[in-house]
């Protein structure tokens, strides 16, 4: 393969990956825990946009449960955001596993 042609393809892929990373900033995923009592909205670049807690789920005598629900919802949102980013990047890289990409 021609080295110049290969370098051009690499540069095109890099530009497309940068576009996808910008797009991910505007896409969101939502996750919940506790039957929807805690909801988290996160962007595709893993920034938390919002956390919604049903006031009825707040028990002052059991704050640990609420903490666990928030943690579970955030972790699920992270998983969903990683999955979204991975699928979008796979479309650019043709499914190649590029270390350090995501």
The domain spanning residue 86 has which CATH number?
A: 3.30.1310.10
Per-residue model confidence (pLDDT) at position 102:
47
**Largest Cα–Cα distance in the chain?**
69
pLDDT of residue 91: 83
Determine, yes or no, domain membership for 62. yes
Q: Which two tokens stand for residue 97?
A: 């596993």
In a domain, 70, yes or no: yes
Per residue, the 3-state secondary structure of 73-91, as one string, reads: HHHHHHHHHHHHHHHHHHH
Q: Which domain holds residue 36?
A: 31-92
pLDDT digits (tens, 9 = 90+) for 37-82: 999 999 999 999 999 999 998 999 999 999 999 999 999 999 999 9
d(CA 43, CA 46): 5
Question: Is residue 2 helix, strand or coil?
Answer: coil
**Domain for residue 15, yes or no?**
no
pLDDT for 1 beyond 80: no
Instruction: Look at residue 13 and tell me if it is in a domain.
Output: no
Domain membership of residue 35 (yes or no) is yes
Residue 88 lies in a domain: yes
Tokens matching residue 61: 């005598």
Number of structural domains found in the chain: 1
């Amino acid at each position: 393969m021609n080295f110049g042609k290969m370098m051009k393809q690499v540069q095109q892929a890099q530009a497309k990956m940068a576009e996808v990373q910008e797009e991910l900033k505007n896409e969101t995923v939502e996750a919940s825990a506790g039957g929807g009592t805690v909801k988290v909205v996160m962007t595709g670049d893993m920034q938390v946009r919002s956390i919604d807690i049903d006031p009825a789920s707040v028990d002052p005598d059991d704050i640990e449960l609420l903490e666990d629900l928030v943690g579970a919802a955030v972790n699920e949102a992270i998983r969903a955001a990683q999955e979204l980013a991975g699928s979008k990047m796979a479309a650019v890289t043709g499914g190649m596993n590029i270390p350090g990409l995501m």
